[in-house]
């Protein structure tokens, strides 16, 4: 993980959860009232120190390429919107969402490029977040990435208490891939309230299938200190 772990996921995580909950409620009202499968719990967690901003960006229309490591992705602009971006030396991060869930891509130097070590640390971190009371592996649910391209991955149900005392139950998909062997990893996270899992699964599946890693290991290109978030 990045030295300060200033990932976009920790800047205002509870705020994101609350917005996702509101968005899901609005979408659900507009849809059929058929009961939706329930998953064991989850929210997500603590605020973190904001990264310093910079003018670098990898966003171009409905695609993104991280300036440091060359990880690429494109998306359907009718489904996804860029919510934030953070670029720093040795760290490329994109936050992209629908009204009911959020996906994060983070490429960074860490774990000597070991995807398994990255995943183990990410799993541990979920349970250490402020307010989280339970983290349950969901082994009986499908994963949004095909096995032949998937790195080290898992799906978790998370239960937490929000700052206002409300209970939160959500689902978190975490995956790590090696970008540059011995150096760089890509950490992928999908966070949603429990009811949104089935609602957005196909959209997330399509999005993550569009991830492209650089064909060859590339040295990180230092970017100016910090980056300006892109809304």
Within 10 A of 30 (CB to CB), how many other CB atoms are there? Answer: 6
Q: What is the pLDDT of residue 51?
A: 37
Edge-to-edge strand order for the sheet containing 81-88? Answer: 81-88, 91-97, 101-109, 184-193, 167-180, 152-161, 132-137
- pLDDT tens-place string over residues 201-214: 999 999 999 999 99
The architecture in CATH of the region 8-31+38-209 reads 3-Layer(aba) Sandwich (3.40)
pTM above 0.85, yes or no: no
- Give the length of the chain: 231
- pLDDT tens-place string over residues 163-202: 889 999 999 999 999 999 999 999 999 999 999 999 999 9
Q: What is the pLDDT of residue 56?
A: 82
Which residue ranges make up each domain of the chain? Answer: 8-31+38-209
Burial 190-212 (b: 16+ CB within 10 A, else e): bbbbbbbbebbbebbeebbeebe
Higher pLDDT, 4 or 200: 200
Q: Which of 230, 206, 227 is nearest to 53 (CA)?
A: 227
Distance from C-alpha of 44 to C-alpha of 129, rounded to nearest angstrom? 7
Distance from C-alpha of 190 to C-alpha of 175, rounded to nearest angstrom? 9
């Amino acid at each position: 993980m990045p030295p300060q772990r200033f990932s976009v996921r920790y800047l205002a995580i509870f705020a994101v959860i609350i917005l996702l909950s509101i968005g899901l409620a609005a979408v659900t009202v507009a849809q059929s009232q058929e009961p939706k499968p329930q998953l064991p719990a989850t929210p997500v967690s603590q605020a973190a120190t904001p990264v310093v901003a910079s003018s670098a960006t990898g966003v171009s229309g409905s695609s993104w390429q991280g300036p440091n490591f060359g990880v690429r992705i494109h998306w359907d602009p009718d489904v996804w919107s860029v919510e934030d971006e953070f670029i720093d030396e040795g760290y490329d991060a994109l936050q992209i969402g629908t009204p009911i869930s959020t996906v994060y891509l983070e490429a960074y130097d860490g774990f000597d490029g070991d995807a398994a070590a990255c995943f183990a640390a990410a799993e541990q971190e979920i349970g250490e977040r402020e307010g989280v009371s339970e983290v349950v592996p969901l082994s009986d649910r499908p994963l949004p990435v095909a096995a032949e391209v998937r790195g080290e991955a898992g799906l978790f149900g998370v239960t937490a208490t929000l700052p206002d005392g409300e209970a939160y139950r959500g689902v978190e998909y975490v995956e790590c891939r090696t970008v540059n062997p011995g150096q760089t990893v890509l950490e992928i996270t999908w966070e949603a309230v429990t009811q949104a899992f089935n609602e957005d699964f196909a959209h997330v599946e399509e999005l993550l299938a569009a991830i492209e890693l650089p064909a060859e290991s590339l040295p990180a290109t230092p970017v100016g200190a910090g980056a300006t978030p892109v809304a």
